[in-house]
Amino acid sequence: MLWRTILYDPPAQRCFLNVWYQTTSGGRRPPGVFGARGLLQARWCRQRRPGGSVQQGFVLWFTGFSGAGKSTIADLVSEMLRKRDVAVELLDGDEVRTHLSKGLTFSKEDRDTNVRRIAWVAGLLSRHGVAAITAAISPYVAIRTEAREMAEEFVEVFVDAPLEKCRERDVKGLYARAERGEIPNFTGVSDPYEPPPSPEVHLHTDVEAPEESAQKVIDYLEQRGLIS
């Protein structure tokens, strides 16, 4: 059994989250997210400070090609929100694959499972006043729609960049390896990416600096009333 304890302590509230991944069956299973041998459960304890108020939680969902700039911008937005005393948790696609979704492949079925897990955790966090930020390719429209339905407040951010630009930024050589057939089901090479038809925020990282893109996200959150 693996435990992770997270403490959120912005001025307006004190929140503890215990999340554990249990490798035996039993307990309450989030439908359609975890298999019979692996259950993710969470327990919250919330305590409001005297005179404090609980903030509005939301899910900020970054999607786009590998190399488009999702993680870079998500990191910047996270820091900008923390400076406003917003409780933030960043669910990066690579880190989720290492821990929460270890063992999953890059088949469409496993990719959908990975996104469902991210969405379930993000939705849970957001319902308890946390700004849950995700940065994963999440290439398919249908599964992103499922993710949206798991959150009360959901903001889809399309991090848009031409494939040529993403290849230029690819210091790990992932695109080259995919083109040689060394990485199967690689988005943009051997697997499609379905752009969001109507994202709340559309970034163009081939012509925008990361700081400019991050500020656009913050501006939208202010306009929508999710932050002040």
The catalytic residues are 138
> Could you please report the per-residue DSSP string of 134-199?
EE-----HHHHHHHHHT-SSEEEEEEE--HHHHHHH-TT-HHHHHHTTSSSS-BTTTB-----SS-
Measure Cα distances from 225 to 70, 84, 87 in Å: 23, 14, 16
Residue 133: closest CA among 142, 121, 146, 149: 121
